[in-house]
Structure 1
């Protein structure tokens, strides 16, 4: 389904058009669920958090001023929702979820070996991300996979710009170390 710009749906939803808000939900549900799952590490909790996020977004849509992108504002809502849930249960933040999505190319363009190599790399990156601190994992995810700017990440996480940059630097370094360790373990397992 092709979606229009978020502002189109926002204006209609503000006027009471629930179908327009439903389109916003459809357009962004995967993203909201993915972030919730990365923070909560539980599919049922992530689904509940995603639902609660959209309820809060709907209730607060009138206060969205448009100073930032809608997705940045929505990321902040889901981030706060999940952080609140984690505070309530006093669990440590952890992140999961495949960070490398399967290619959108049809299978006949890829041979079996390429598919296998891509899947192995994705699994290795996922394991490497799971070993990062939660702060590093979320910042790397938002910067590289969601392609958000440093300023948008600052807006979402509430951290300072310098803190986000430090987390990106350390996260890249730690991810590289994790991937080296994991790949050498896998090679030893093959022998």
Structure 2
């Protein structure tokens, strides 16, 4: 192999990687601008889609009962927060669910450890018969969505997702409170 063949082999080996690096460098800005707009992400077994998961939960949970003559409901705190920061609105909505879990635990005298993980609180309520199976599973799925909202900081959360999360959480609070209250009334009555 003479020096011309060596140079030719070197150029042909470096050409494609150099072209790819050049294209990536030129398109870096537009690509980074698209990342926050991604609503779904899949890599191997990992698949994250907040919108799809929230819609699924909304379909599974019963709708809140509205009386026909009732005035329109006041805008909830999570929705007020979501108007400024959808991510913070999702977290605020979850905190209402956690507050409902704490209230039932306190009312039933089951546990005074408010620093326990939500999963531990939920397990305790389920084992005591104060949360039914569908609500238990929905709370776990909602907690997972809350974690994704908290930890996926490189992704923009749309206001619609925050509204859906607030709706799901309001339904869960109602379900936790009414099922637990009905169980207590049934046992004491």
Q: Give TM-score scaled by structure 2 length.
A: 0.30
Structure ranking higher in strand proportion: 2
**The structure with more radius of gyration:** 2
Q: Which has the higher contact order (CA 8 A, sep 6+)?
A: 2
TM-score, normalised relative to structure 1: 0.29
